[in-house]
Structure 1
């Protein structure tokens, strides 16, 4: 009977205890793999991909040379429909919350339906409405609750503010401190609320074809979830699993003692 030596045992443990490098690399060229089919559709609408939903907050400011007129149509802190005054974003104090029926209540205009529309469409809509009330003006329209949530195998899970309407998946991960060694890079889930219900998108961070695709971008209110790989369950990390080594050595020594 062939006896397994300690060096052989340690070498075996080394190979089973390490996470392969290819599982931790981003943006690999996998197009040459056998039977590979690019699952991604090239991005078309990037800056206007998000449409307003109930619960969003819109900052709308009327700019006009007549300060009296501007005061009639712009919210002040006392007029704000904002109910959560402690969220840390000063612009949201002066924002309109979109109601469950999809409307905002605009001063001297009344209810305006904004759900399902992009910021550009809302700006065009408000300009059409206000040109019947104001001679010379311009508008600022901005979403003030542009945030996403990231959970799972990242170093700093949580909710993060977006400095623009859309950021890409790698920018989102960077804000969370990058994935841990246990993060499943090939099956990242993006849970996205839409007007027709919630949909789940699965992306592969190891596939370079993800870049510039429609699924490359994170939208406001997205939830990004990073699943752990199976190695985490066994305590396997970047190097040896000390618990596994200890157990195998104990079994080896016991077997040699009893023979």
Structure 2
């Protein structure tokens, strides 16, 4: 049980996509140079709201949104196309634009504004959520979404994942310890998690397994009583 399970070696690197939100910050020896690139109070908002894993979608208000054509618009620098690039590649491209505009050295920091994912199906809480981390596991996502319903199929969690050029659907088994070494142990930005319900969900409108079984037993008892009465009458 105490065996060390190494993380899977995943070559896949997330590339920025239209409608992603990135946090771009600037630093220089002269703070007056960077104020032109800061939305009013954005730096103060980030510090005041905190960066905890369970926090709200801070960067929706303070970050830069990539438009449908793949560009971000930065004050003074104009529109820069960064969709299709990794975080590091996008950072270098913004840095090049900054170096061409200013003679002074201004350091650029660029990163995704948290990991956004969506949960559907038999979760305690479904909807779009944000984890304020650079890396998050499937169990981080499950914890934020609430304990899965008793009617959920733990062996049928589907991850709908976006890749450069398309989308794939992967099925994982939460009961399989091999998950810890799989490429799906860590979630990616914009993942959609769907937890399939058991067939018992289709019986009546019961909210859980016990009430469904109670409904079945009640109907069975009524049928037996009716059968006994009819048999006695004959």
- TM-score category by the smaller chain? 0.7 to 0.9
Q: Work out which of the two has the higher radius of gyration on C-alpha atoms and give 1 or 2.
A: 1
Is the partner of 1:218 in helix, strand or coil?
coil
Q: Which residue of 1 aligns with 2:47?
A: none
Q: Which residue of 2 aligns with 1:137?
A: 106
TM-fit CA distance, 1:70: 1.5
Q: Deviations over 1:148-183 (max 9, x none)?
A: 111111111122111113322121111111110111
Structure with higher RCO (Cα < 8 A, 6+ apart): 1
What is the alpha-carbon distance in structure 2 between the residues aligned to residue 181 and residue 68 of structure 1?
56
Report matched runs for 1:226-237 at 5 Å: 226-234=195-203, 235=206, 237=209
Structure 2, unmatched stretches of 5+, are 1-6, 43-55
Q: Tell me, yes or no, if the aligned pair for 1:50 and 1:165 is still in contact at 8 Å.
A: no
Q: Which residue of 1 aligns with 2:75?
A: 107
Alignment match of 1:123 (pick from 91, 100, 109)? 91
What is the alpha-carbon distance in structure 1 between the residues aligned to residue 103 and residue 112 of structure 2?
24
What is the alpha-carbon distance in structure 1 between the residues aligned to residue 227 and residue 68 of structure 2?
69
* Aligned: 1:58 with 2:22: yes
TM-fit CA distance, 1:202: 1.4
Q: Which residue of 2 aligns with 1:25?
A: none
Q: Which residue of 2 aligns with 1:212?
A: 181
Q: Deviations over 1:99-119 (max 9, x none)?
A: 222112233333322112221
Q: Which residue of 1 aligns with 2:228?
A: 256
Is the partner of 2:79 in helix, strand or coil?
strand
TM-fit CA distance, 1:186: 1.1
Deviates more, 1:243-252 or 1:133-142: 133-142
RMSD: 2.7
Tell me the matched-pair count: 208
Is the partner of 1:215 in helix, strand or coil?
coil
Q: TM-score, normalised by structure 1?
A: 0.70
What is the alpha-carbon distance in structure 2 between the residues aligned to residue 89 and residue 170 of structure 1?
20
Structure 1, unmatched stretches of 5+, are 1-40, 80-87
Q: Tell me, yes or no, if the aligned pair for 1:153 and 1:226 is still in contact at 8 Å.
A: yes
